[in-house]
């Protein structure tokens, strides 16, 4: 089937793109509102950009034509925290996406403890597996796009001690929550470690030569 996005409504295109680009990691973002309230919301149009310097991106849209709180807060404070939620936080993550009246804090309502960050003023969630303090580097806003892309420099990683082994993250222990299409989530599935690509290439092409294909 061929599908031309130009002949689809924004809702249909949303369903297609969020159903095909899966699983997506979730940036559970804390920001500070102008009155000092802590805002929390999940964003799955999120990924790394570069590792040197460490940079990540998150795409944040509008709600009924208005900028989401996270959007406005990042723009005015130039900083945010990307908290990483493990699978067990699924319900809390989902609930934190509710549109609340201005001045109401998701962290307070959901009784999620926060702790100060070391470099930025925005607090991070205390009981998550990891959090990244970020400074806004850039906001990319295309004229014809509903969402803006926020690029953040990672200033500090906070990682639960037992997750780091030989400077690597133990992914099973991290147990990250992922978003798939619709109001659906996933955890980690099958794992397999590969040999070096060159070794595997040789093995697979050898097999082809043997079978004459
Ligand atoms: C798992 C999940 C992922 C989401 N990803 C995004 C996203 O990438 N971009 C976006 O604009 N909204 C996304 N949303 C919706 C926002 O979380 C929602 O609009 C929220 O109310 C924004 O809160 P705020 O106004 O406090 O910033 C997502 C919601 C969920 C549950």
Domains of the chain from N-terminus onward: 5-211 (2.30.110.10)
Average pLDDT over residues 82-111: 96
Q: What are the C-alpha distances in Å from 140 to residues 15, 58, 68, 107?
A: 23, 10, 16, 28
CA 98 to chain centre: 17
| CA terminus-to-terminus distance, the chain | 29
Give the other-Cβ count within 10 Å of 46's Cβ: 20
Burial profile 60-94: b = 16 or more Cβ within 10 angstroms, e = fewer: beeeeeeebbbbbbbeebebbbbbbbbeebeebbe
**From the CA of 42, how far away is ligand 1's center (Å)?**
5
Predicted confidence (pLDDT) per residue in 47-62, tens digit: 999 999 999 999 999 9
Residue nearest to atom 24 of ligand 1 (CA): 69
Task: Using most ligand atoms within 8 A of CB, pick from 21, 31, 68, 70 the residue to mutate for ligand 1.
Answer: 68
- Res. 209 pLDDT band, cuts 50 70 90: confident
**From the CA of 60, how far away is ligand 1's center (Å)?**
7
Average pLDDT over residues 99-107: 91
pTM for the model stands at 0.96
179 lines ligand 1 (CB under 6 A): yes
């Amino acid at each position: 089937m061929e599908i031309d996005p130009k002949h689809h409504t924004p809702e249909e295109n949303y369903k297609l793109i969020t159903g095909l680009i899966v699983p997506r990691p979730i940036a559970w973002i804390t920001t500070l509102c102008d009155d000092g309230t802590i805002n929390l919301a999940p964003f799955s149009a999120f990924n790394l950009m570069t590792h040197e310097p460490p940079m990540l991106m998150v795409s944040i849209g509008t709600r009924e034509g208005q900028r989401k709180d996270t959007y406005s807060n990042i723009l005015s404070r130039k900083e945010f925290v990307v908290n990483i939620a493990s699978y067990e936080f699924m319900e809390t993550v989902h609930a934190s996406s509710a549109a609340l009246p201005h001045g109401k804090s998701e962290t307070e309502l959901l009784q999620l403890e926060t702790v100060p960050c070391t470099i930025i003023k925005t607090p991070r969630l205390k009981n998550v597996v990891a959090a990244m303090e970020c400074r806004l580097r850039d906001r990319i806003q295309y004229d014809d796009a509903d969402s803006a892309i926020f690029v953040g420099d990672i200033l500090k990683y906070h990682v639960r001690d037992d997750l780091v082994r030989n400077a690597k993250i133990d992914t099973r222990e991290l147990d990250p929550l992922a978003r798939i299409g619709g109001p659906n989530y996933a955890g980690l599935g099958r794992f397999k470690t590969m040999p070096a690509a060159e070794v595997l290439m040789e093995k697979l092409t050898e097999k082809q030569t043997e079978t004459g294909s």
